[in-house]
Structure 1
Amino acid sequence: MTTPDENFSSNNFFLNFITPRWLYFAKNAVLEKTNNLFIEVTDNQLQQVITSLALTLERIAHSHWIVDEITDDTVSPAVQSLAEQIMGEIKKQTELEITDNEVLFFTKQLEGVNYKKPQNIFLDNFDAELSYQVRELIRLVSQQTQKDLRKDDTLFYDLLTHLAAAFKRIDNQAQLAGNPLLEKILTEYPRLRKIIQDDLKEIFTDHRAFLQDELAYIVIHFAASLERNPVQKEISALVLCSSGIGTAKILESRLNKYIPEIERIEIAKISQMGHIDFKEFDLILSTIFLPEFSLPYKVISPLLLDDEIREIKQELQGKQFSNRPVSTHINKETPNDFEQVYEQMKVANELLTQFSITEVSTRQTLEKTLDVILDELEGVVVEDPQKVRELLIHRHKTAPIGIPNTHFALFHSANTYVKKPYFAIFDLSRSVPILGMDRKPMELTRLLLMLAPDNMSTTEERLLGRISNSVIESDVNIQTYQYGDEEAIYERISSLFITEIKDSEEE
């Protein structure tokens, strides 16, 4: 069998730690020996599977096996069968000693591959607290790195899967087998490591002592996200004018029209130059010559001539900017599945039609207040209000659902007593004490209610999932759900549904 050149090198940091031989076997087993089972997986996910498998083979080749027993109690039989097929093929071709434990480890890596599926908050084993904590971790790291990673679903699901397993290992006093590659990764990203280490301690107060290997894997997830999301800075321009406000406005209008790459334009008088921080701007333009001015600038006419527009565009193309996410979306032709789109729009329209914000008189208890709300839905949305209320309260007591540092909570349940998907908001006349997802007391004044039938369709699940995921997706969303009126939240949900329909067409 022909294998790649051993002198192969890559610009990808992670691939430089893998011998090309193992990368070849991993790629061959995944792409050619599984009957196109990975055909629906995105390129990013596919690259992750192959790289993770190659790292595993590299580790085994150096006699570093996973020594702690991995249980298969939560493993999907279909995914385990796929993992066994891939590992069996590799074992035949390489004669590596691949243990059952290694197969289970790879199975658990495969289980997180399909990131397009939204989390189902209605599942009994859905960990709302961990989900919130992972969102918080991503928010804090985004804040400190000044790169917004909160919309990277792959990062979110990667971290959710990894941390759930990591906490089980910590609780069971088990640990990953030592891997010398991880030390190099921690050395390569010292600042990112420090940020993540501090944020983990702040968020996961019950698990302050993360082992170095666990920390390294978390750093890998964030580093991979930063590689997936290249960034570009918002281009800003300062225009120095000696003329009046009318000329300045004309110049600003022409810049906006003919050079849309410039997203922020500031107009200033020559007399104001002593009060300007020129480092804030990527481009400095002036309508007159500036003999004493030492920084690079370009002289332009107040009317911004065509050749000046061309020169400015060429200058911008030669500059490197790096602070704002770049869109990597590629339009591709997809089958026009009218039935699917029609079904999505029908469900979305029904959810939007019945959405409302209603004021409710708070009763003596949360249970009685829910009774008032659910009684109004009897016959249309729910068949048995009392049963639905019992399930909502049970879920609330099992796992806190209040959004920390707010006054609202998302009550949700999918059961046989619900007739159709439903989402609405209820403002309480008097606050009710509940626990937040961070297990701290809070006062509930706004109740978000999400209901679904037990046998909801994939479309219904995905649309409701868009709403639930958006609740803590960003600070703006949290503010919208906490203080927004019916029109503002209606528009937000509409936007979410449009995004979901577009995304499903591209899958």
Structure 2
Amino acid sequence: MYITAREQKIIKYIIQQNRYVTIREIADSVQVSTRTIHRELKSIKPILKNYDLSLDKQPGKGLKAVGEQEDKQRLLAHMSNEDQIEYSSDERKLLILCALLEAKEPVKLYTLASDLQVTNATISYDLDELTEWIAPYGLRLIRKRGYGIELKGPEEAKRKIVGNLIVDRLDIQLFLETIEMNIKHRTKATEKVFGVVSRGQLLKVERLLFHLKNRLSLSLSDSAYIALVVHLTYAIERIQLGETIRMEEEELLELKRTKEFESSLRIARALERMFNVEIPEAEVGYMTIHLRSANRSFQKEYRIDEIELDIAIRTKKLIDFISNKTGYHLNENDSLYEGLVSHLEPAMNRLKEKMRIYNPLTQQIKKDYFLLFMAIEEGVERFFPEIEFPEDEIAFIVLHFGSVLEIKKEETNIHALVVCSSGIGSSKMLASRLKKELPEIAEFDLSSLMELKEIDASSYDMIVSTVPIPYEHVDYIMVSPLLNEDDAMRVKAHIKRKIPYMIEKKRMKEAAKELVQESVNMMAVAERVTNYMSVIRSILSHFTIKNRKAMPQHEATIRQLLRQLEEEGFIIHADVIANGLLEREQQGGLGIPSTEFALFHLKHAFIKEPIFHIYDLDQAYEVKSMDGGQQQMSRMLMMLAPQELGKEVSEMFSLISSSIIESEESMTLYGHGSEGDIEQKLHQLFYQFVKEAKW
């Protein structure tokens, strides 16, 4: 049995320690990432089994080789006699693929064998497996004696396989080290990162995207950010070689209607200036797919034209389902709902485009939260039947629910920053674990490694991270995202060491607060209150339910209603507004599933003030539903907002939209309720908002 050099190092370390060792310890000893160790363990288990050995895994302790001492010695003796192989079979296939992607002409088999220091027969076997691996992407290998080996297929298929290759090999630490080494002028521009892009090009793209990210209001997890940087770098290199992708006109037109296309266009123009290339529209479309598939962290401000009510409805049903399964009331937890909606929308886009995501915690989550994992697996299959959720995606959803189920309210007084690289779900999981184990920690803020560059670390009492932080000025403690017993003890010791500094800092903060309170800018507060009150007053004063005659054609019904609104002075250029509503409907349907009403919403410069109207039609007719099917519509809800109004109008309409689908009773109210009943509901919503607002 062949055992690679890395496998030998890992096996020797586990056996020789003769105790439970953590994944982090193994990774440090072999000098690779923890993710690499997780991947290697899959091939190590059958090797151990061949020698009547096994791995015992204990949560909070780690791994230990279990078996007779003579069997352990037998395996160690075998490894000492065996010639080491530098690369595993999977590593060789990745290196072969990278070589073929870069090659401008066929590559000879003996060249690959020589470079990888294996026999021609081994490379031939690797190529057989690689052929099967690349087939689902629409790629194939041309293998002819005397000709060599060549990768054939459309450019877009090569881009997609590179995207998944990046996900498989994604190492956030390597990426950050590359950026940091460049800052310290210790990097070679010609080296390859992730095996596919040049380091020099990648650094330029990262610098550009970092500056554009905030201007374009992009909210990306670390993994999504790095994957996008590498994708853009690879795209530029391919364009410079004259390789561009093609896209169906209909698909491109659909992407142009999305909010991400404009951001992609601005990124493309900046890249054109930086690299002196011309980026075709199809490339911009492919960039748009990446942005739509990015795993965005939750943003508190929702815009009315960004709300996907179909996903919101199904998310509510999933939360109800898990509430019933676990016996915990999760239905009223806004943070859970908002975090799930924010994760599921890009996740569904990602899965539809067959883009993969890697979750290094999947197996541990599945073991530690087995029943919750099974319940969520059943839930997504029931409420998202058209999408096949892989285990890595389900594990991310488990993190969202797990964080809520772990919460324990206690009096605390320490302000901590939690740094994670896997997105907001794992950050919340760690924060709630810390809250449970360390009640003295009162408040948590969440950050990714990328965002940490823009945060004042000194403003926190302590920083807890799941990954190494490469910034020398940051004092932190590193733990597992699931916080085992040893981690909790180390954090307590860390707190004890920092208590004197915390007390002194809090004294200084209290003194400064007393000075600030004397100079509060009440004009700014008054302006915010006035803006919110203006929006609420407009919505409530103009709210109405009217009976209207349905026209023979749906489009005619919409245009007639908009012309009436124009006559009443609420809008101008009714046909333009009608076109906007109809285009919005074409993108995904506006009918609320399992009801007989639809929600038409639009923000536009030709709308003069925010209004919420309801129209009861004298005759129901069929419209497109949010779940892709058809449904009867007898009632039409209309939300219209001026373009220039900011977050106030978006927040109020988001409040109404969320209340529509918050429960079966609520959907019944909006679908069949009287004007007085719905108006009373709006009053309650706005009153609660004003009561809880932090002006």
TM bin, normalised by shorter chain, reads 0.5 to 0.7
Inter-CA distance 338–87: structure 2 relative to 1 (3 Å threshold)? farther
CA shift at 1:184, angstroms?
1.9
- Paired amino acid for 1:362: A
C-alpha distance in 1, partners of 2:540/2:632?
A: 28
User: Following the alignment from structure 2 to structure 1, what is the Cα–Cα distance between the partners of residues 530 and 599?
Assistant: 28
Give the alignment partner of residue 117 of structure 1, picking from 301, 304, 311: 301
Compared CA separation, residues 171 and 487, structure 1 to 2 (3 A)? closer
Q: Which residue of 1 aligns with 2:584?
A: 395
Aligned equivalents of 1:193, 1:62: Cα separation in 2: 20
State how far apart, in whole Å, the 1-side matches of 2:405 and 2:540 are.
35
> In the alignment, does 2:399 pair up with 1:220?
yes
Contact 1:401/1:409 (8 A) holds in 2: yes
Tell me what 2:390 maps to. 211
Change (3 A) 1:167 1:424: closer
2:246 aligned partner? none
Partner secondary structure for residue 122 of structure 1: helix
- TM-score calculated relative to the size of structure 1: 0.57
Q: Given that residues 304 and 603 in structure 2 are in contact (C-alpha distance below 8 angstroms), is that contact kept between their aligned partners in structure 1?
A: no
Superposed displacement of residue 478, structure 1 = 0.9
Structure 2 residue 624 is the aligned partner of structure 1 residue 449: no
Question: Match of 1:390, SS?
Answer: helix
Is 1:491 equivalent to 2:674 in the alignment?
A: no
Distance in 2, matches of 1:485 and 1:229, equals: 41
* 2:620 match: 431
Superposition pairs of residues 114-153 of structure 1, within 5 angstroms: 114-118=298-302, 120-123=303-306, 127-153=308-334
Give the AA of the match of 2:339.
D
Within 5 Å, give how 1:294-443 maps onto structure 2.
337-379=525-567, 380-443=569-632
Shift of 1:143: 3.4
Distance 1:173 1:445, change over 3 A: closer
Residue 114 to residue 127, structure 1, CA distance change in 2 (3 Å): closer
Q: Give distance in 2, aligned partners of 1:87 and 1:149.
A: 42
Change (3 A) 1:86 1:402: farther
Q: For the Cα contact (< 8 Å) 2:602–2:641, is it kept in 1? A: yes
Query: Could you tell me how far apart the structure 2 residues matched to 1:111 and 1:389 are?
Result: 33
Cα gap change, 1:157/1:69 in structure 2, threshold over 3 Å: closer, same or farther? farther
SS in 2 for 1:505: coil
Paired with 1:59 and 1:335, the residues of 2 have a C-alpha distance of 49
Spell out, residue by residue over 1:355-389, the C-alpha distance to the aligned partner (whole angstroms, 9 max, x if none).
01111122222222223322221151110122222
- Label 1:487 to 1:215 Cα distance change in 2 as closer, same or farther (>3 A): same
C-alpha contact (below 8 Å) 2:313/2:661 kept by paired residues: yes
CA distance in 2, matches of 1:397, 1:176: 29
C-alpha distance in structure 2 between counterparts of 1:57 and 1:418, whole Å: 54
Amino acid at match of 2:574: P
Structure 2 residue 373 is matched with structure 1 residue 184:
no
Q: Deviations over 1:24-78 (max 9, x none)?
A: xxxxxxxxxxxxxxxxxxxxxxxxxxxxxxxx985478789xx97559xxxxxxx
Q: Deviations over 1:259-280 (max 9, x none)?
A: xxxxxxxxxxxxxxxxxxxxxx
Identity, % of aligned pairs?
25
**Following the alignment from structure 2 to structure 1, what is the Cα–Cα distance between the partners of residues 548 and 581?**
17
Alpha-carbon distance change, 488 to 146 in structure 1, aligned in 2, over 3 angstroms: farther
SS in 2 for 1:377: helix
1:175 corresponds to which of 333, 349, 356: 356
Q: CA deviation at 1:151?
A: 3.5
Alpha carbons 1:115, 1:153 under 8 Å: kept:
no
Native 8 Å contact 1:424 1:449 kept in 2:
yes
1:13 counterpart residue number: none
Distance 1:402 1:452 in 2: 20
Matched to 1:493, the amino acid is: L
Q: For residues 182 and 465 of structure 1, do their structure 2 counterparts lie closer, same or farther at Cα, with a shift above 3 Å needed?
A: same
Q: Which residue of 1 aligns with 2:376?
A: 196
Query: Which of the pair is proportionally richer in helix?
Result: 2
Cα distance in 1, alignment partners of residues 618 and 359 from structure 2: 57
In 2: Cα distance, 1:489 partner to 1:225 partner: 31
Unaligned runs of 5+ in 1: 1-16, 23-55, 72-83, 232-331
User: 2:663 is matched by which residue type in structure 1?
Assistant: S
Specify the code of the residue in structure 2 equivalent to 1:467.
I
After superposition, the Cα gap between the structure-2 partners of 1:190 and 1:497, relative to the gap in structure 1 and judged at 3 Å, is same
- Which of 224, 233, 238 matches 1:105? 224
- Further displaced range: 484-493 or 350-359: 484-493
Please tell me the residue identity of whatever aligns with 1:222: F
User: What is the CA-CA distance between 1:453 and the residue it aligns to?
Assistant: 1.7
With over 3 angstroms needed to count, the CA separation of the structure-2 counterparts of 1:175 and 1:424, relative to structure 1, is same
- Post-superposition CA distance 1:327-348 (Å, at most 9, x none): xxxxx99986122112211220
| Compared CA separation, residues 217 and 464, structure 1 to 2 (3 A) | same
Q: Does the CA-based 8 Å contact 1:70-1:105 persist in structure 2?
A: no
Cα distance in 2, alignment partners of residues 347 and 190 from structure 1 = 47
User: 8 Å contact 2:543–2:679 — kept in the other structure?
Assistant: yes
Deviation for aligned residue 1:450: 0.5
Whether 1:473 aligns to 2:662 is: yes
Give the conservation status (yes or no) of the 8 Å contact 1:343–1:459. yes
**Match of 1:80?**
none
Conserved 8 A contact 2:613-2:638: yes
Give yes or no for contact 2:24–2:34 (8 Å, CA) kept in 1.
Answer: yes
The one-letter code matched in structure 1 to 2:304 is: I
Taking structure 1 as reference, are residues 386 and 173 closer, same or farther at Cα in structure 2, changes over 3 Å only?
closer
Question: Aligned AA for 2:654?
Answer: G
Preserved contact between residue 467 and residue 493 of structure 1 (Cα < 8 Å): yes
- What SS does structure 2 have at the residue aligned with 1:382? coil
Q: Secondary structure at the match of 2:305?
A: coil
Residues 175 and 122 (structure 1 numbering): CA distance in 2 closer, same or farther, change over 3 Å? closer
Is there any run of 5+ residues in structure 2 with no aligned partner, and where? 1-21, 41-93, 95-160, 165-174, 187-191, 195-201, 207-220, 229-292, 411-512
Task: Return 131-140 or 487-496, whichever deviates more.
Answer: 131-140
- Sort the Cα spacing of 1:19 and 1:475 in 2 relative to 1 into closer, same or farther, 3 A: farther
